[in-house]
Structure 1
Amino acid sequence: MNAPSRYELFVLDEGEKPVEVMEDTKIPNAATVKILKQDHTLGNLIRSQLLSMPQVLFAGYKVPHPLHPYFLVKIQTDGSITATQALEEACTKLIGTLSSLEQKFKREFSFKDVEGAVPEEAYGTADATSTWASGRDYMDF
């Protein structure tokens, strides 16, 4: 097959830079950022965080080819900050959001462990004569 091994898609080679910024000469206050060894997940997160910033006029990403493990992010700002500063700020906010989400997730599961509210069966029923065991599914309600 033509597909590279999965290892090559996510691990940087020696001397390989994870991020490369190319200033756009045709559009003012714009840049194209090439992010290596990442996929749509990170590209969409960065794009949506950039679009939530009032200084950013345009943000979009694309994966040029599915066999090449990188994506390009295009950023245009209003001139009050550079595209690189906008990217740094967006990534900092994303890291904060994800760490907050992780804390909330861990807190919720620690509450369930303390309360003993974790059901024995997958659907939270203790007996075999329940609704689920009788052949009905969630669409029957």
Structure 2
Amino acid sequence: MNAPNRHELFVLDDGEKALEVTEDTKIPNAATFKIVKQDHTLGNMLRAQVLASPNVLFAGYKTPHPLHPYFLLKIQTDGTIAPAAALEAAASRLIATLSALEGKFRREFSFKDGETGGPAMAGGMAGMDTDPYGGGGAAWGGAGRDYLDF
């Protein structure tokens, strides 16, 4: 088919830059960033983080075509900071948020093996004698069954 090989969508070629900046000449304090070898996942998260800044007037992204592995992120600020600085601050906040989420995820799943009623079960499920994610038991419809059994 016409689709490129999967690795071509995420691996940078030799000499290829991951980020290209184009200053907008028609709109003050605006720039367009071409982020290569990324897709909607990063585009939407960056756009949301950029918009969280009070100095940003506009932020939006688009993927020109599904077969081209890049997206364009446009940022306009109020002039107190540059669009590149707003993107850098948003990327730092996004990395911190994702690191905190990963830490919470790892902590919760470290309790999964061998504990019942511990901190992972504290959300109103303390006292149940089974794992709600497939362990089965009386609390989820009988011994040897889990919530996916009909």
Q: If the length of structure 2 is used for normalisation, what is the TM-score?
A: 0.81
- 1:73 and 2:73 correspond: yes
**Percent of pairs identical after alignment?**
64
- Unpaired stretches in structure 1, ≥5 consecutive residues: 136-141
Q: Deviations over 1:11-48 (max 9, x none)?
A: 00000000001000000000000000000000000000
Aligned to 1:124: 136
SS in 1 for 2:12: coil
Q: Which runs of 4+ in 1 moved over 6 A?
A: 129-132
Evaluate the alpha carbon distance shift between residue 22 and residue 120 of structure 1 in structure 2; reply closer, same or farther with a 3 A threshold. closer
- Unpaired stretches in structure 2, ≥5 consecutive residues: 118-129
Q: If the length of structure 1 is used for normalisation, what is the TM-score?
A: 0.86
- CA shift, 1:107, in A, is 0.8
SS in 2 for 1:87: helix
Evaluate the alpha carbon distance shift between residue 18 and residue 123 of structure 1 in structure 2; reply closer, same or farther with a 3 A threshold. same
SS in 1 for 2:9: helix
Q: Are the counterparts in 1 of residues 136 and 147 from structure 2 also a CA contact under 8 Å?
A: no
Deviates more, 1:90-99 or 1:112-121: 112-121
Evaluate the alpha carbon distance shift between residue 44 and residue 89 of structure 1 in structure 2; reply closer, same or farther with a 3 A threshold. same
Q: Are the counterparts in 1 of residues 39 and 69 from structure 2 also a CA contact under 8 Å?
A: yes
Deviates more, 1:114-123 or 1:19-28: 114-123
More helix by share: 1
